[in-house]
Amino acid sequence: MSTVEPVTEHQAPVSAHREDFPILARPMNGRPLAFLDSAASAQKPACVIDAEARCYREYYANIHRGVYQLSQRSTDAYEGARKRVAELLNAPDHREVAFVRGTTEAINLVAHSFVRPQLQPGDEILITGMEHHSNIVPWQLICEETGAKLVVSPVTDTGEVDLEDFRGRLGPRTRFASIAHVSNALGTINPVAEMIAAAREADVPTLVDGAQGVPHMAVDVQALGCDFYCFSGHKLYGPSGVGALWGRFELLRGMRPYQGGGEMIRYVTFEKSDFAPPPQRFEAGTPNIAGAIALGEAVDYVRGIGLERIGAHEQALLAYATERLEAIEGLRIIGNATHKAGVISFVLDGVHPHDIGTILDQEGVAVRAGHHCAQPVMDRFGVPATVRASFGLYNSREDVDALVNALHRVKEFFG
Ligand code: C6P
């Protein structure tokens, strides 16, 4: 497998940003906290926490409604956050970004507003075998309602998509393809640009689930060529309960609203309502105003450090962790793709992942143990669950060392 790369001077300062995260200064069971669960949700830097608090303390009011100054200030900050998200994704137009609760809501929105109205019995939706439940269940629901079929391109033994297989499953009945940028359970970085190109050749629109992509790499939706891209704020060092859906304007403009309510209309009578243009059409009701503003701050924060630098730092950690974990007898890494983000899933002979997670916690090491909301991936690899260590910009080799030392304690404990 990978050899250990020295952490270069260029990469070293990234983990120094640990100091930006107040929670990481708090000991866990008397030890420095080794937080290795950023794929579930990342910790928040002080600037993000402060941005949300500042909104509530200094200028909070409902947006798009008030003529008074506070409301105008909130509206400007909220719309400013939308522009930041558009820049993060290199979207051509900020009106193509709708704030949603997160990746899950974004996928449901596209499923119900874009895909479902087009589906006929026998039509197909294509996904891969490594999707998170959020990119499986919404499609199953609309397939059940319409008689369409969910088609799955299986995962290889190394935890990768087989591009030829994926291409081969794009047929005349395929109406949509929805694919993870990065697998949350395996860490695999999918060749999404090639997959999207194949779908475009077959005239099939695409959505990329970027929940695990955006925190680890620079994303350019124009270069990718997809039709929709979505992510969750809480995995990008922003608040929970807010995320973004990007979609091509010409598609968004033709889509029915996902929910009805205030703010998404132009004119309402009891006979008929006229809908607002995107993105307001998809933001019914009062949104997570302070959360969206704080997400804008998180975007500035990661862009200030540089997503390429964050990605390189995590790659170095991944290589180091892979080498150290592989040296542990009885430990098996699940997911050995050539291109991986900072996510390592593994099992240890004779010890249930939940027991491992509990002992690691006692040693101050936070990991996720379970099926990671990706049960088909567990089935594919014949395991009920895995332990998953995932990296953020604040992690360092010390965190990996703490994980490895704690795993030796697990082995001692279980004999
Ligand atoms: N994965 C994990 O521990 P939400 O919950 O809407 O913010 O994100 C859902 C989601 C969708 N796609 C992928 C690839 C994901 O990883 C996630 C969230 C977390 O892996 C929580 S289950």
Q: What is the CATH number of the domain that holds 205?
A: 3.40.640.10
The verdict on residue 404 lying in a domain is yes
Residues 208 and 344 in one domain: no
Does the beta carbon of 368 lie inside 6 Å of ligand 1?
Answer: yes
Residues 66 and 140 in one domain: yes
In b/e form, how buried is each residue of 342-373, taking b as 16+ CB within 10 angstroms? bbbbbbbeebebebbbebbeebbbbbbbbbbb
Q: How many helices (H) and strands (E) does the chain have?
A: 14, 15
Residues 203 and 345 in one domain: no
Cα of 179 from ligand 1 centre, angstroms? 13
The verdict on residue 198 lying in a domain is yes
Helix H or strand E encompassing 353 = helix 353-362
Map residue 160 onto helix, strand or coil: coil
Q: What is the DSSP letter of 190?
A: -
Residues 117 and 244 in one domain: yes
**Whose CA is closest to 194, among 128, 279, 150?**
128
CATH number at residue 27: 3.90.1150.10
Residuewise pLDDT in 10s, the chain (415 residues)? 334 444 444 444 798 999 999 999 999 999 999 999 999 999 999 999 999 999 999 999 999 987 899 999 999 999 999 999 999 999 999 999 999 999 999 999 999 999 999 999 999 999 999 999 999 999 999 999 999 999 999 999 999 999 999 999 999 999 999 999 999 999 999 999 999 999 999 999 999 999 999 999 999 999 999 999 999 999 999 999 999 999 999 999 999 999 999 888 888 899 988 999 999 999 999 999 999 999 999 999 999 999 999 999 999 999 999 999 999 999 999 999 999 999 999 999 999 999 999 999 999 999 999 999 999 999 999 999 999 999 999 999 999 999 999 999 999 999 8
Tokens 């906290």 map to which residue? 33
User: Given ligand 1 and candidates 212, 236, 245, which is best to mutate, with the most ligand atoms within 8 Å of its CB?
Assistant: 212
Catalytic residue among 143, 226, 230, 373: 373
Does the beta carbon of 333 lie inside 6 Å of ligand 1?
Answer: no
Provide the token pair at 24: 């990481």
**Boundary of a domain, candidates 238, 270, 304:** 304
| Strands (E) located in 108-264 | 124-128, 149-153, 174-180, 206-209, 228-232, 243-247
Q: Which domain holds residue 405?
A: 14-36+307-413
Residues 297 and 335 in one domain: no
The verdict on residue 43 lying in a domain is no
Kindly give the interhelix angle for 397-413 and 307-326, rounded to the nearest 10 degrees.
30
Rounded to whole angstroms, how far apart are CA atoms 95 and 107? 18
In the Cβ-directed half-sphere of 368, how many Cα atoms lie within 13 Å?
21
Does the beta carbon of 372 lie inside 6 Å of ligand 1?
Answer: yes
**Boundary of a domain, candidates 286, 304, 322:** 304
Residues 102 and 128 in one domain: yes
Residues 220 and 277 in one domain: yes
User: Given ligand 1 and candidates 36, 100, 104, 295, which is best to mutate, with the most ligand atoms within 8 Å of its CB?
Assistant: 104
The amino acid at 134: S
Does the beta carbon of 232 lie inside 6 Å of ligand 1?
Answer: yes
The question of whether 226 is a catalytic residue gets the answer: no
Cα of 196 from ligand 1 centre, angstroms? 21
Enter the pTM of the model.
0.96
List CB contacts of 335: < 8 A, sequence separation 6 or more.
Answer: 158, 159, 183, 185, 186, 187, 188, 343, 344, 345, 381
Does the beta carbon of 385 lie inside 6 Å of ligand 1?
Answer: no
Provide the token pair at 57: 């303390």
Q: How many domains does the chain have?
A: 2
Map residue 411 onto helix, strand or coil: helix
